[in-house]
Amino acid sequence: MSLKENFARRAERMRASEIRELLKLLDQPDIISFAGGIPDPALFPTDAFAAAMSNAVSGDAGALQYSSSEGYAPLREWLAQHMTELGVPADADNIFITSGSQQALDYLGKLYLSAQDTALVTWPTYLGALGAFNAYEARFDQLNLTGNRGADDYVAGAEAAGGAVKFAYLSADFSNPTGETVDREGRLKLIEECDQMDCALIEDGAYQALRYDGEAVPPIQALEVAQKGNLEECRTIYCGSFSKTLSPGLRVGWVCARRDVIQKLVLIKQAGDLHSATLNQMAVYQVAENLFERHIPKLQKTYAARRDAMLAALARDMPAGVEWTRPEGGMFVWLTLPKGLDGKDLLAHAVEAHRVAFVPGGAFFADGSGSNTIRLSFSLPPEDVINEGVARLGAAMRDCIGRS
């Protein structure tokens, strides 16, 4: 008996991330980690969730039962109102509840991508988006927001590869991994290019609520609705998440889009996992309804202080030739190292000799470039730990620069 690996062709693309495997080893108390990119659990509204869970389980006969693939109606209505406040007039039929926004990316890949179709993504982009789209045997092309390339180039490249450009994907606010924000002009240009390509535009709003300073830019979807008059005429598909605002562990996110897209996603979910956990949606609805508006400023205050500490520490401790972003929100600062300094080599040395960790940037590039970049997250460690960690990182860099 051979038990041959008779997996689908796409399974060849599924490989364990070496970074993820490495990071598993970092769960040691003497290591300062800027790797994670996870929210500080001390900021979770724990008491509110305990009360909401208890109310729902004991008070609502449906809390433990099967429920609809679209999602829990009061939560969909709350989110329609939330999107309306963000400048996207929507109703509950425009909202689809997902098990976190990662599932939105998976299902959008499933909806749009046949093998060899092209997804346009920034270089770098969210690692989880590459993973989600990769499973559908996508081809990636570089979405260039500075205008060096345009719609015609993208379409020609996609056709040459035997597919079509199906969507552009980006996070426009404090993106993972760079922390950068696309300005209004860049957003309008992107809508225009997607109009020219007649493709979808997936806006990942995972960090949207976490702005600490600077002027808020409306979501791309809001700008498109303002242009075209009605969400039903819009190609932008907005993916939102409660993971960065209320709790990641409950796995509740949403998609806001025109109805035909929502209806297809509901069919994908019926066949995918039936529905997101009923109780979780009820609890998130209760907590969001009761305290979302006053909870966000608490997050902003804490994370802004950590970002400030990290930027100050970087200015103090980075060797010459290292550059970094100045994010107005989110959880990440993105560093470009002097040429020749490799993020993976730096990580190995930093962990071994200085007990500080981060994520090498190469994994965020669809083409495997970006070896001289790294991502630091400031969301979890308090300021004094950030100071110490950045000092260690500077020392590790100087070691590596001295060697090369």
Contacts with its own copies in 228-247 (CB under 8 A)? 228, 233, 235, 243, 247
135 in contact with its own copies (CB under 8 A): yes
250 in contact with its own copies (CB under 8 A): yes
**Measured from the CB atom, is 295 or 392 closer to its own copies?**
295
Judged by CB under 8 A, the stretch of 6-14, 27-35, 147-155, 305-313 that binds its own copies is 6-14
**Measured from the CB atom, is 128 or 218 closer to its own copies?**
128
Judged by CB under 8 A, the stretch of 5-13, 77-85, 175-183, 291-299 that binds its own copies is 5-13
Interacting positions 20-59 with its own copies (CB under 8 A) = 20, 38-39, 41, 44, 46-47, 49-50, 53-54, 57-58
**Measured from the CB atom, is 214 or 249 closer to its own copies?**
249
Answer whether 366's CB lies under 8 Å from 125's CB: yes
149-154: Cβ within 8 A, 24+ apart: 150/193, 150/196, 151/193, 151/196, 151/197, 152/196, 154/118, 154/120, 154/193, 154/197
Interacting positions 83-122 with its own copies (CB under 8 A) = 98-100, 102-103, 106, 110-114, 117
Length of the chain: 404
14 in contact with its own copies (CB under 8 A): yes
* Gyration radius (Cα) of the chain, Å: 21
Which residue carries 């209505």 as its tokens?
Answer: 77
Q: Which helix (H) or strand (E) holds 116?
A: none
**Shortest separation between residue 390's beta carbon and its own copies, angstroms:** 24
Question: How many Å apart are CA 167 and CA 197, to the nearest integer?
Answer: 9
Answer whether 396's CB lies under 8 Å from 356's CB: yes
Strands 356-357 and 32-33: parallel
**Shortest separation between residue 359's beta carbon and its own copies, angstroms:** 15
CA 322, 371, 19, 9 dihedral sign is positive
**Shortest separation between residue 58's beta carbon and its own copies, angstroms:** 5
Which residues is 165 bridged to in the sheet?
Answer: 118
63 in contact with its own copies (CB under 8 A): yes
Interacting positions 256-315 with its own copies (CB under 8 A) = 258, 260, 263-264, 267-268, 270-280
CA 355, 358, 362, 366 dihedral sign is positive
**Measured from the CB atom, is 8 or 216 closer to its own copies?**
8
**Cα–Cα nearest to 179, from 154, 147, 214, 146:** 214
**Measured from the CB atom, is 252 or 318 closer to its own copies?**
252
148 in contact with its own copies (CB under 8 A): no
Judged by CB under 8 A, the stretch of 79-87, 211-219, 227-235, 368-376 that binds its own copies is 227-235
CA distances from 391 to 212, 241, 288, 350, 360 (A): 24, 33, 39, 11, 18
**Shortest separation between residue 167's beta carbon and its own copies, angstroms:** 8
Which residue carries 């996207």 as its tokens?
Answer: 88
Q: How many CB atoms lie within 10 A of CB 261?
A: 20
Which residue carries 């509840």 as its tokens?
Answer: 97
195 in contact with its own copies (CB under 8 A): yes
**Measured from the CB atom, is 122 or 280 closer to its own copies?**
280
**Shortest separation between residue 253's beta carbon and its own copies, angstroms:** 9
Interacting positions 326-345 with its own copies (CB under 8 A) = none
CA distances from 52 to 83, 87, 295, 317 (A): 23, 29, 16, 45
Selected binder of its own copies within 134, 175, 208, 377 (CB under 8 A): 134
Q: What does the DSSP assignment read for 240-289?
A: EESTTTT-STT--EEEE--HHHHHHHHHHHHHHTSSS-HHHHHHHHHHHH
**Measured from the CB atom, is 206 or 396 closer to its own copies?**
206
320 in contact with its own copies (CB under 8 A): no
132 in contact with its own copies (CB under 8 A): yes
Number of residues that bind its own copies (CB under 8 A): 85
**Cα–Cα nearest to 19, from 381, 370, 378, 396:** 370
Judged by CB under 8 A, the stretch of 75-83, 195-203, 293-301, 312-320 that binds its own copies is 195-203
6 in contact with its own copies (CB under 8 A): yes
Interacting positions 197-226 with its own copies (CB under 8 A) = 198-200
